[in-house]
Structure 1
Amino acid sequence: MELQLESLKYQDIAVQSVVKVFDGTEKNTFDNACIEGIRSNVCKLTAEQIKENIKGVLTENGIDEETAKLSTDNDLCIEMETGTGKTLVYIKTIYELYKHYGFTKFIILVPSVAIRQGVLSAFKIFDKQLENIYGFTPKAFEYDSKRLNKVTNFIEEQHPQVMVMTLASFNSEDKILNQAQREDLFANIPFIDAIGKTNPIIIMDEPQEGMDTENSIKQIAKLNPLYKLRYSATHKVLKNLVYRLTPYDSYKQGLVKKIEVLTVTEKNDEATIKIELSQTQNGKGDPKAKLKAWKMKGGKYVFEETNWLKVGDNLGEKTNNPSYLNYKITRINKSLKTGKWSVEFSNGAVLEEKQSSGNLQSIWALQLEWLIRRHFQKTQKFAEQGIKCLSLIFIDKVANYIGETPIIKELFIEKYKLVYAEMNEGKQPTDEHINQIQGYYFAQKASGEFADNEGGQKEQKKIYELILKGKEELLTITNPVQFIFSHSALGVGWDNPNVFNIATLNTAYSEIRKRQEIGRGLRICVNQDGHRIYDALNVEDTERINQLTVIPNETYETFVTQYQEEIKEVYGTTKAGAGLTHTHKGKPQNEVHFKRNTNEPIDAAFKRFWKSLAKKTDYLISFNEENLIEKSKEEINKINIADYVAEVSSRSIGEITEEGIKDDFGGTETYALKAYFTPLDLVEELSENTGLSYRTLFKIVEGITNHEHFVKNPPQFIHQAAAIIRNIELDEMIRGLDYHLTGEEFPFSFDDFVKNIAPQAYVETPKRGVFDKMLVDSDVERWFAKTADLDDEIICFLKLPSYYKIKTPIGEYEPDFGLVMKRKSLKTGSESEYYFVIETKGTNDINDKKSLTESEVYRIKCAMKHFEALGVEVHYKAPVKEYSYFKTEATKTINSIIEQA
């Protein structure tokens, strides 16, 4: 198998978001970026120019400056939900940065051996496919202190170099890179100082994993990075956030698997959130009790005793654990019959002294049984498509799988035999088969003893090679391994596209954060040819292939609460998270039934509306090349470039105290620099950035008269000129866009349907909705639907189906709402129907560049022409933020129609 490279728009945007930060940089060559035999990354842009470039990227990506945390530090943050391919994104970014600017020195900094191996594997998997695209392959290698010749090559080579290293390899003064007394030094300086002279671009993979400690910051600074590019789904430190792909965006766009949370707890079984009654006190006052529970302390959960609690106390508040908020003490009592103390809670739970908080092995057994069931079901379902199903099991401690009493392994074998027999007419699997289907990856000390953390990793070679390096081999159906056991070593960074089931068999809360836990299996699956297999966006859940089943060791409510707390911590709202569906012991819960409104006036009005709306169109584009050329000349000649200068500034260290360094600012001087470029370079760069032919661009270039600005800074001039031409191209495209009816219609198939979705994904529309409920993707849609349902002038409305797609030159477009309004004429007293289609956005202004991307604006403009071409009175309103704004605009339209009549 060979995994296939795809061209994915969101990944391209993430790549270009970084590339555009350096727009205007003179391309590095041997002549201008090689000093004393060391090839460096050189960027002469001022801090202000970089800042303006960043602001431009933020505008394009719809990120406000406050969210982006603008900073003068040389850091860029790229936030991508786990499973959406951030490793491939930063690898492609390396290719693009060399292609555009000639940057040659890159260091990929990773927090663990597992991630390091994943990065090296990704380079190996895609190197030939990327070489076919870019025409070169960078030298990517793992830093090894025993092979310093590779570091020397990294420092000197003109060809792009990528060194992959863990933080641990240089984060203390005694590490080889930091040593100043060695016979093999580079130019008599420590290797870390020599690396610093290359000004590498450092790519920080999962920087929140220890890269922002005081010591790490100091050690990374020694590498003297030109820029640090931070890639993560869960940033702790945010600076210059230039790209953000939230869990919700990934989920909505079908870029990751859908998530099923399958819980295996019984009702009233409090084992899943583990509370124990440890002490009671019965003195003069009311009885009190101390409970052992999971407390939030220092950012993690600790199972320990509470202070004395009394009736009325809320355990969630006392432990700072939101999962216990339903546990308010209503009674502390000693039974006359048994003599035992008990604590009763507001949710009906009763906890007795010396009572075990649950039979942990029973919980594990159920988790494993349902994991195996899901595994078999999916394996059978995927057989025809050639998709191998993998399942991942996180365990509480390694000894429970490979110790003297391997409880979890024994439970797995027992449950596997049970489910296998059910699925195979009573047949039993052989011991050899059961042994072959299991793989495991745990940390191991040099002594050979297994550890519960990732220190001193030395895994058995065969399984290490398969799980960490042999991703493609693991994906082949002929390889027997289907179930992978781990403790924490695979908790961050490692993933596999065909992980379809994850179970967490821990003593209570998973030690892995929810987003990381889910992230091991979010990637879209692949078949035996290495091609990703996508589901249609409107596929029914029963037919869905890309569905990840998560079987946590807590209740669904607990799992969701913790997940949402993590989302809120990052985004300020729980709504940015992916939607979760809930299944309890395999039986669907939270099923939402959408029923057609049986009201005859609503049904009749809707059918009339749909008849007008359902007409399909196609388009032709007539492009006026002369207009494009003349407008481009006119706008490009307005470009005003600041002088191409070098800035020299002086700061004198006046005093070093315990409080820090006090310095004196000595002033700055600027020096004009010369840039070197030829007219052919100008045409070639513009062609690459606009897609126009050389012939057309020569005509544009001939009309350029502001040569003095061009020579000041050719790269900056080209950047501005290309942006101007692209905007004119799009304007000309809209101007020459002509929609026409095809004679076809969108089908009418609005039957009742059922969705397994969370409450926040729909809104009740019982009065005027075509259905009694409506799917919504945002708060703007939610409030629009709620208000429309209460408006007496609305006859009916609906969220347009996903198959109602309007063709445009830049991709298909799906408008949001269709709506029928009635209005009585004061003159005649007659009542008329008016048809509207609405696109909701976070703004009412189509020129609001902060709220709308370029592509959204042009799709809206294309849709305007589509609705004009229908030949019937369907009025398109876009963008719309508030319902009140829509009503105002609708009234203007209706009044205009009445006046014309």
Structure 2
Amino acid sequence: MKLKFKTQAYQSAAVQAVVNCFTGQPPASAEAITYRIDPGQAKKGVEDLFSESGFKNADLTLSDVQLLDNIQQVQRGQNMPVDNSLAKSKVARINLDVEMETGTGKTYCYIKSIFELNRRYGWSKFIIVVPSIAIREGVAKSLEITAEHFLETYRKKARFFIYNSKQLHHLESFSSDAGINVMVINVQAFAARGADNRRIYDVLDDFHSRRPIDVISANRPILILDEPQKMEGAQTLKSLEEFKALMVLRYSATHKTTHNRIHRLDALDAYNQKLVKKIAVRGIAVKGQAGTAGYLYLQSIEISSKKPPEARVEYEQKLAGGNIKRIVKKLSKGDNLYDLSNQLDQYRDGFVVSDINANTDTLSFTNGLELTVGDATGDVTEAALRRIQIREAIKAHFDKEQALFQQGVKVLTLYFIDEVAKYRDYTSADEKGDYARIFEEEYKQYLNEVLDLDETPYIKYLKGIPAEKTHSGYFSIDKKTKRLADPAVAARGENAGLSDDVDAYDLILKDKERLLSFAEPVRFIFSHSALREGWDNPNVFVICALKHSDNTVSHRQEVGRGLRLSVNQHGDRMDHPAIVHDVNVLTVVASESYKDFVAALQKDISDSLSARPKVADEEFFTGKVLKTAAGDVAVTPQLAKQIYKYLLKNDYTDDTDRITGTYHDAKKAETLAELPPELKPYATQVYQLIDSVFSASQLPDISDDRRPKKNPLNANFEKQEFKALWSRINRKAAYSVAFDSDELVQKAVTVLNDKDAGLRVTPLQYTIQHGEQAEAVTYDGIKEGNAFKLKATETETNRQSVHSAVKYDLIGKLAEGTQLTRRTVADILKGLNVAVFAQFKTNPESFIAEATRLINEQKATVIIEHLAYDPVEDKFDLDIFTAGLTKQDFSKAGDKLQRHIYDYVLTDSNVERQFVKEMDTSSDVVVYAKLPRGFLIPTPVGDYNPDWAISFKEGAIKHVYFVAETKGSMSSMELREIEKTKIKCARKFFDEINQRFAPEAVKYDVVDSFGKLMELVK
């Protein structure tokens, strides 16, 4: 299996933020970058095999003023705080910070930035500096597995190597090769004590009496710091100066020291854009003191339509020989633990089940004891707690695996432990440690329950995996004994508690792709806590730390190993917007209560958002950029006042101008107050701007993994009316598009030249601010206040391009953006009026962006006109109605439904909620279904998932069978172009299906209410 990579818009944005900081820098010429490599002093009789010519990075020709202007343009474009100076640092003249949340692919982004900087400016010498062996090995692996992907895009490969003071010949190639060269080095190799670590500064006989650092620095490399917050010690920063870097790019999710921050993709952005997994928690709360009461652990409350709720409880039971064993059993109301335990005295007083409440997930006894799911009480030793954790992780694993197996997604569960002996005990006959033995016992017990289910491909898969083969340990290996061993761990510094053992990481990384395959039986992995950073596998769905919390690792770091979006058996990322958070849910099995773990995690996330603005006042909104289809619009003081008044009037801000929960609740429910007329044209952008202000209400919802309502298919699913409906729409088809490029050229030229709706380029604008020195205000004898006070702001338009020195491949850029041939693009450009084409000089970037948009719109129109569907024999399996339901949270899904095929339905908007309410109470509706996410219609602009399938009563109803799409507005002007195109494709799909198969046509249409639907069907 091979991991696949594709171009992602959010990653491209991070790359362009870096590249655009150097707009105006001319591409390097051969003369500018060639130099003579220091040959050193060869030993007598040894031929000098080294090249004399080297290729270094060309110097920055831009002035500080130009660089700062570029940086400010990038910052304004993202509505980030604008710096008024270049960040000061002795390491390099330019210091840029890129903030990217863990799991969003920052390594991919800086590797792609390397290729882009080379393509745009000719820079070719890069050094990636990392704080630990773990990250170093991971970076090297990423360079290896992305090589083919970038070769397809850039038609070149990067030569890379890991710096090793014993293999210095790589430095000669690094200097003499004219292509892209990347060196990966961990900070210990140049900033730590010890003979091997300091060799980089020594004159070495085996390196022709030269210092490695001199050969490196002669290349004026670009430094990329991965996790720079771990490399901020005085000695490290001093050592970095020796590299004489052209610039420093710093990539992290948690910057401590800030420089010129040019891009931000923080935890909130990543979660809201569905770029990382959702998080769920199984907490274990220990109540009472050991030995004061009978041992009990409430694992879950199980509900069924055929019998009252039951509680799955672990308790102690006396065996025939007098020994005591802990067992797990389902309890019902009225069960007496004293009897069930074979009369253990600890359960004598009132341990009779009085209530099992599935709504509150509580179990009550007649003696007043009440347990919530996840509570353990009585003699809860550490061994008992670890067994519970191992068991819960196994159960969470099976819950996910049953839902994801048929989608080709392999589930991995990761256990972190403190010492190898707990997993592999070489003093034991079978060499199994306590945790390995407990795991196999719990795994077999739960597996037996699962195997009672109907025979399916998943059950067959499970039967083929022995318990002892489905778990494995990833640890260091003692070179003498060849046995697993505890790794060497850093004792102090930023990497305290982490391992620098390269063997262990090498093993993990070599198995990265193999572990993702169903052919590999290993699904449960035990690894040392010190190896935490070495884990970077996208299919880790369950994390369980079987260790004491020592506060050296935050809760955010703990979940970070599992945030990356998963991949299927083909290496494709499971990132389809319709299913991304149904599939990608990370469960953390914690050794503390759900409430405590979530509180700590929310605090970690909140603390990491320090760069976000906190106050939504007029000053914040003024000058921000609203990106619209017609171009960027700057927020004037007048517009800023309107936004501020809107928030204030509707209680969306508090007395300190902070965004309230009221705003976010209304936004989720789609009940936000109407914007004033001046703001309506920019509604989407205004709300995005408001959302960029931090509010605690925005923090990701971390669910309790045990609490979701069950949502089984009910009797409506078996109704003949639904079967008839399903038989009519259960068809798959392939589409084909055949159109004449001349037709597209003609349509595109007509639209681009249109006087009213054609190509209009936004002239470049710049802002002039006037200020004067302000009086400092004295507080308690200390002078405070702004040094200057802003008095006036003017906006000027420049119709002469500031990019006149930059050469653009206009045809290439348009061909890339439209996916058309260069010839077709050239024909379109030939047809442009002189005045329209002249706008290219005014603002090349705007010209390219607008022309791309307009051409793509015409391309979509032509596609629809020439689109044809050809039905195929393949149909959807009924499994799509059950896939992914296991872990969906229906706790807020509302009341139980009467006519839907499930008891509950998750709606996406207020329009849908009202639609369901009226449909479920209508006497005209027999049965209906929210079509599952797996029901997809292929279109040239992406797969399309219709909303509803409805079967009406025969009689007054004209269209008994109906497929409906619900939208908040019926106006096509309100829909995005891609939505309109998908809807048009769906109409063609159902028209073809009706003609070929349906004896009674299935009607498809878009409605904004149940009333509109009834107009169409009657």
- Match of 2:633? none
- Match of 2:434? 411
1:730-879 matches, within 5 Å, as 730-739=860-869, 755-760=885-890, 763-764=893-894, 766-776=896-906, 778=908, 780=910, 783-784=913-914, 787-788=917-918, 791-792=921-922, 795=925, 796-819=927-950, 837-839=963-965, 847=973, 855-867=978-990, 870=994, 872=1001, 874-877=1003-1006
Structure 1 range deviating more: 807-816 or 682-691: 682-691
Q: 1:800 Cα deviation (Å)?
A: 0.9
Q: 1:247 Cα deviation (Å)?
A: 4.8
The one-character-per-residue Cα deviations of 1:229-261 (angstroms, maximum 9, x if unpaired) are 75649999997547987458659xxx86x9886
CA gap 1:803/1:862 in 2 versus in 1, 3 angstroms: same
Distance in 1 (CA, whole Å) between partners of 2:465 and 2:964 is: 55
Q: 1:861 Cα deviation (Å)?
A: 3.6
- Match of 1:17? 13
1:227-306 matches, within 5 Å, as 230=251, 232=253, 240-241=263-264, 246-247=270-271
Q: Which consecutive unaligned segments of at least 5 residues does structure 1 have?
A: 57-64, 185-190, 272-324, 328-343, 584-588, 825-829, 879-884
Q: 1:763 Cα deviation (Å)?
A: 2.6
CA gap 1:806/1:693 in 2 versus in 1, 3 angstroms: same
- Work out whether 1:692 is the aligned partner of 2:820: yes
- Work out whether 1:532 is the aligned partner of 2:532: no
Question: Is the CA contact (8 Å cut-off) linking 2:896 and 2:903 kept in structure 1?
Answer: yes
Query: What is the RMSD computed on CA atoms of the aligned residues?
Result: 7.1
Distance in 1 (CA, whole Å) between partners of 2:496 and 2:253 is: 22
1:391-430 matches, within 5 Å, as 392-395=414-417, 411-412=434-435, 415=438
Q: 1:806 Cα deviation (Å)?
A: 1.6
Distance in 1 (CA, whole Å) between partners of 2:732 and 2:510 is: 50
- Match of 1:29? 27
Q: 1:773 Cα deviation (Å)?
A: 1.9
Distance in 2 (CA, whole Å) between partners of 1:756 and 1:236 is: 43
Question: Is the CA contact (8 Å cut-off) linking 1:443 and 1:455 kept in structure 2?
Answer: no
- Match of 1:593? 712
Q: 1:808 Cα deviation (Å)?
A: 1.0
Distance in 2 (CA, whole Å) between partners of 1:650 and 1:196 is: 44
CA gap 1:579/1:612 in 2 versus in 1, 3 angstroms: farther
CA gap 1:629/1:55 in 2 versus in 1, 3 angstroms: farther
Question: Is the CA contact (8 Å cut-off) linking 1:823 and 1:831 kept in structure 2?
Answer: yes
- Match of 2:495? 454
Residue identity in the other structure for 2:867: L
3-state secondary structure, aligned to 2:745:
helix
- Work out whether 1:88 is the aligned partner of 2:133: no
- Match of 1:444? 489
1:25-174 matches, within 5 Å, as 25=23, 28-31=26-29, 34=32, 38-40=57-59, 69=80, 71=82, 79=100, 82=103, 85-99=105-119, 102=122, 104=124, 108=128, 110=130, 112-127=132-147, 130-131=150-151, 134-140=154-160, 159-162=179-182, 164=184
Question: Is the CA contact (8 Å cut-off) linking 2:14 and 2:109 kept in structure 1?
Answer: no
Question: Is the CA contact (8 Å cut-off) linking 1:440 and 1:485 kept in structure 2?
Answer: no
CA gap 1:128/1:505 in 2 versus in 1, 3 angstroms: same
Distance in 1 (CA, whole Å) between partners of 2:398 and 2:803 is: 68
Q: 1:876 Cα deviation (Å)?
A: 2.0
Residue identity in the other structure for 1:134: Y
Residue identity in the other structure for 1:553: S
CA gap 1:641/1:54 in 2 versus in 1, 3 angstroms: farther
Question: Is the CA contact (8 Å cut-off) linking 1:839 and 1:877 kept in structure 2?
Answer: yes
Distance in 2 (CA, whole Å) between partners of 1:579 and 1:733 is: 43
- Match of 2:745? 629
Specify which of 528, 552, 563 is matched with residue 590 of structure 2.
552
Distance in 2 (CA, whole Å) between partners of 1:379 and 1:774 is: 23
Question: Is the CA contact (8 Å cut-off) linking 1:27 and 1:102 kept in structure 2?
Answer: no
Distance in 1 (CA, whole Å) between partners of 2:60 and 2:789 is: 29
Q: 1:809 Cα deviation (Å)?
A: 1.5
Residue identity in the other structure for 1:131: L
Distance in 1 (CA, whole Å) between partners of 2:420 and 2:538 is: 25
Residue identity in the other structure for 1:4: K
Distance in 2 (CA, whole Å) between partners of 1:813 and 1:662 is: 56
CA gap 1:761/1:366 in 2 versus in 1, 3 angstroms: closer
Question: Is the CA contact (8 Å cut-off) linking 2:763 and 2:842 kept in structure 1?
Answer: yes
CA gap 1:877/1:453 in 2 versus in 1, 3 angstroms: same
Q: 1:385 Cα deviation (Å)?
A: 14
Distance in 2 (CA, whole Å) between partners of 1:35 and 1:644 is: 33
The one-character-per-residue Cα deviations of 1:764-795 (angstroms, maximum 9, x if unpaired) are 56444322423426455873465345654662
Question: TM-score if structure 1 supplies the norm length?
Answer: 0.61
Q: 1:799 Cα deviation (Å)?
A: 0.8
- Match of 2:381? 359
CA gap 1:376/1:41 in 2 versus in 1, 3 angstroms: farther
CA gap 1:814/1:522 in 2 versus in 1, 3 angstroms: same
3-state secondary structure, aligned to 2:157:
coil
Question: TM-score if structure 2 supplies the norm length?
Answer: 0.55
Matched length: 754
The one-character-per-residue Cα deviations of 1:642-661 (angstroms, maximum 9, x if unpaired) are 78999999999999999899
CA gap 1:624/1:212 in 2 versus in 1, 3 angstroms: farther
Structure 1 range deviating more: 489-498 or 37-46: 37-46
The one-character-per-residue Cα deviations of 1:675-732 (angstroms, maximum 9, x if unpaired) are 47999x5434433433323432332232232454445665664454334323321232
Residue identity in the other structure for 2:825: L
The one-character-per-residue Cα deviations of 1:148-200 (angstroms, maximum 9, x if unpaired) are 9999998998644545566899999xxxx9xxx9999xxxxxx99x9899795
The one-character-per-residue Cα deviations of 1:345-395 (angstroms, maximum 9, x if unpaired) are 99799x9xxx99942233224445776899999999999999999764334
Distance in 2 (CA, whole Å) between partners of 1:748 and 1:518 is: 34
CA gap 1:236/1:563 in 2 versus in 1, 3 angstroms: farther
Distance in 1 (CA, whole Å) between partners of 2:803 and 2:406 is: 64
- Work out whether 1:683 is the aligned partner of 2:811: yes
3-state secondary structure, aligned to 1:774:
coil
Q: Which consecutive unaligned segments of at least 5 residues does structure 2 have?
A: 35-55, 85-94, 205-212, 291-359, 363-367, 448-463, 610-694, 777-781, 996-1000
Q: 1:814 Cα deviation (Å)?
A: 0.9
The one-character-per-residue Cα deviations of 1:28-74 (angstroms, maximum 9, x if unpaired) are 52249958975156789998988888898xxxxxxxx7xx7575689
CA gap 1:196/1:462 in 2 versus in 1, 3 angstroms: closer
CA gap 1:580/1:512 in 2 versus in 1, 3 angstroms: farther
Residue identity in the other structure for 2:489: Q
Distance in 2 (CA, whole Å) between partners of 1:205 and 1:556 is: 32
CA gap 1:731/1:118 in 2 versus in 1, 3 angstroms: same
Question: Is the CA contact (8 Å cut-off) linking 2:880 and 2:934 kept in structure 1?
Answer: no
CA gap 1:756/1:115 in 2 versus in 1, 3 angstroms: same
CA gap 1:71/1:396 in 2 versus in 1, 3 angstroms: farther
Distance in 2 (CA, whole Å) between partners of 1:387 and 1:751 is: 17
Which is bigger in relative contact order (C-alpha 8 A, separation at least 6)?
1
Question: Is the CA contact (8 Å cut-off) linking 2:134 and 2:502 kept in structure 1?
Answer: no
